[in-house]
Amino acid sequence: MDRSVTCPPMAEPEQTTRDVPADLMDRVVNLCKRRGFVFPSAEIYGGFRSTYDYGPIGVLMLRNVKDAWWRTMVQLRTDVVGIDASILSPPAVWEASGHLKNFTDPLVDCTACKQRFREDHLDDPNVCPNCGKRDSFTEARNFNLMFKTHAGPVESSAAVAYLRPETAQGMFVNFANVLNTSRKRPPFGIAQVGKSFRNEITPGNFVFRTREFEQMELEFFVPPDQGSYWYDYWCRARLDWYVDHGIDRDRLRLRPHDADELSHYSAGTSDVEFLFPWGWGELEGIANRTDYDLTQHAQHSGADLSYFDQETNTRYVPHVIEPAAGATRSMMAFLIAAYDEEEVRGETRTVLRLHHRIAPYKIAVLPLSKKQPLTDLTREILAELQPTWMCDYDETQAIGRRYRRQDEIGTPFCVTVDFDTVEDRAVTVRERDSMAQERVPIAELTGYLAARLR
Q: Least distance in Å: CB of 269 to ligand GAP?
A: 9
Contact call for residues 79 and 188 (beta carbons, < 8 A) = yes
Contact call for residues 357 and 76 (beta carbons, < 8 A) = no
- Considering only residues 283, 335, 381, 449, which one is a binding residue for ligand GAP as defined by CB under 6 A? 283
Residue 188 sits at φ, ψ, to 5 deg, of -150, 165
- Considering only residues 105, 217, 273, 407, which one is a binding residue for ligand GAP as defined by CB under 6 A? 217
- Binding region for ligand GAP (CB under 6 A) out of 1-9, 19-27, 277-285, 393-401: 277-285
Contact call for residues 346 and 339 (beta carbons, < 8 A) = no
- Binding region for ligand GAP (CB under 6 A) out of 14-22, 52-60, 185-193, 325-333: 325-333
- Considering only residues 251, 329, 362, 432, which one is a binding residue for ligand GAP as defined by CB under 6 A? 329
End-to-end CA distance of the chain: 31
- Binding region for ligand GAP (CB under 6 A) out of 16-24, 93-101, 283-291, 384-392: 283-291
Would you count residue 80 as binding ligand GAP (CB under 6 A)? Answer: no
CA distance 83 to 421: 47
CA distance 324 to 31: 28
Nearer to ligand GAP, 191 or 324 (CB): 324
| Cis amide leading into 373 (omega within 30) | yes
- Considering only residues 38, 325, 358, 414, which one is a binding residue for ligand GAP as defined by CB under 6 A? 325
Nearer to ligand GAP, 200 or 392 (CB): 200
Q: Least distance in Å: CB of 282 to ligand GAP?
A: 5
CA distance 260 to 247: 30
∠433-410-398 over CA atoms, to 5°?
A: 85
CA distance 212 to 154: 25
Nearer to ligand GAP, 297 or 430 (CB): 297
Q: Least distance in Å: CB of 152 to ligand GAP?
A: 28
CA–CA distance from 73 to each of 65, 237, 328, 339, 383 (Å)? 12, 10, 17, 26, 31
- Considering only residues 215, 228, 290, 421, which one is a binding residue for ligand GAP as defined by CB under 6 A? 215
Would you count residue 412 as binding ligand GAP (CB under 6 A)? Answer: no
Would you count residue 66 as binding ligand GAP (CB under 6 A)? Answer: no
String of contacts with ligand GAP for each residue 156-185, x by CB under 6 A: ----------x-x-----------------
Would you count residue 210 as binding ligand GAP (CB under 6 A)? Answer: yes
Nearer to ligand GAP, 287 or 366 (CB): 287
Q: Is the dihedral of CA 382, 384, 385, 386 positive or negative?
A: positive
∠330-333-334 over CA atoms, to 5°?
A: 90
Contact call for residues 145 and 198 (beta carbons, < 8 A) = yes
- Considering only residues 194, 285, 318, 323, which one is a binding residue for ligand GAP as defined by CB under 6 A? 285
- Residues near ligand GAP (CB under 6 A): 166, 168, 198, 200, 209-210, 213, 215, 217, 282-285, 322, 324-326, 328-329
